[in-house]
């Protein structure tokens, strides 16, 4: 029942992403406006879909891979729109919206029927733990977009061959600042997500930490971002170094989220391909 609206939202994200891409090529302001409207409508539909599914299933619908991918897309668009509202960084849409489309369209091709909830998941900690982590991930996705933009821009400035990128991207300073803001928002979310997960684990499985692959990879991700935050605050890591670490961190997030589920079975394997 949830698949049809999800396909529709994926379509909104796709056309939104195309509008932003059109904007970055032509710098036509109207395209950016259209892109923003499409993402906004898409995210509202998406949110309504979640609420409907919540009532149909009786639990927060973030338990299968289908639901997780779909929620990731939702969170990324929410966070992007919030950043756009705050910083007016329209070009970011061309980097982030395709990511949201990618997540939502992959979800749309997975089996999406509502299933009975596994006993361990039947807890009030589920929404707290998962929503914190997913919004944290979404903030890091925006940081990833800004980091890619930073590296592209820096490369042009260092090579002194200024072309299309120079004209289209914001200043290095702004991109680095976005990266830092994302870190200061995303890191607490990630930390709280892991802590709440740990508390929940003690209720569900009897121990706070059981070195399950997902937990190990979450820790690796956390350590990467902790190192970046520490380096920024104490040594003054910024610019290129910070951008590269931000990209590495996001790859770790993707692996923790998808790679672990698909490749390394463990306690957290509720979200494999079969749903």
Binding site for other proteins (CB under 8 A): 27, 153, 157-158, 160-163, 166-167, 170-174, 177, 235-241
**How far apart are CB 181 and other proteins at their closest, in Å?**
14
> The tokens of 81 are what?
């729109």
**How far apart are CB 155 and other proteins at their closest, in Å?**
12
**How far apart are CB 84 and other proteins at their closest, in Å?**
18
**How far apart are CB 240 and other proteins at their closest, in Å?**
5
Using CA atoms, how far apart are residues 130 and 118, in angstroms rounded to an integer? 15
**How far apart are CB 227 and other proteins at their closest, in Å?**
16
* Complex with other proteins: residue 178 or 194, whichever CB lies closer: 178
* Complex with other proteins: residue 109 or 166, whichever CB lies closer: 166
Using CA atoms, how far apart are residues 227 and 122, in angstroms rounded to an integer? 34
CA 6 to chain CA centroid, Å, is 17
Cβ-Cβ contacts under 8 Å for 136 (sequence gap 6 or more): 186, 187, 189, 190, 193
* Complex with other proteins: residue 37 or 162, whichever CB lies closer: 162
* Complex with other proteins: residue 234 or 274, whichever CB lies closer: 234
Burial 119-132 (b: 16+ CB within 10 A, else e): eebeeebbebbbbb
SS3 call for 2:
coil
> The tokens of 261 are what?
């589920």
* Complex with other proteins: residue 29 or 113, whichever CB lies closer: 29
Please report how the helices 65-87 and 125-159 are oriented relative to each other, as an axis angle in degrees rounded to 10: 50
């Amino acid at each position: 029942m949830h698949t049809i609206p999800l396909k529709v939202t994926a379509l909104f994200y796709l056309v939104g992403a195309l509008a932003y891409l059109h904007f970055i090529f032509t710098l036509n302001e109207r395209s950016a406006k259209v892109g923003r409207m499409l993402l906004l409508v898409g995210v509202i539909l998406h949110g309504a879909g979640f609420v409907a599914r919540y009532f149909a299933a009786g639990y927060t619908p973030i338990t299968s891979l289908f639901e997780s991918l779909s929620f990731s897309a939702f969170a990324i668009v929410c966070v992007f729109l919030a950043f756009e509202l705050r910083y007016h960084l329209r070009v970011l849409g061309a980097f982030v919206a395709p990511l949201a489309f990618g997540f939502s369209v992959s979800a749309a091709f997975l089996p999406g029927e509502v299933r009975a909830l596994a006993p361990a998941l039947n807890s009030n900690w589920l929404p707290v733990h998962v929503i914190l982590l997913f919004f944290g991930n979404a903030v890091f996705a925006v940081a990833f977009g800004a980091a890619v933009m930073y590296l592209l821009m820096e490369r042009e400035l260092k090579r002194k061959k200024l072309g299309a990128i120079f004209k289209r991207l914001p200043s290095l300073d702004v991109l680095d600042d976005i990266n830092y803001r994302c870190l200061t928002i995303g890191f607490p979310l990630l930390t709280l997500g892991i802590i709440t997960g740990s508390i929940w684990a003690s209720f569900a499985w009897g121990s706070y930490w059981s070195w399950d692959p997902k937990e190990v990879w979450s820790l690796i991700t956390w350590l990467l971002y902790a190192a970046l935050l520490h380096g920024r605050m104490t040594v003054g890591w910024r610019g290129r170094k910070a951008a590269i670490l931000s990209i590495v961190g996001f790859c770790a997030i993707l692996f923790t989220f998808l790679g672990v589920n698909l490749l390394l079975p463990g306690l957290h394997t509720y979200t494999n391909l079969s749903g």
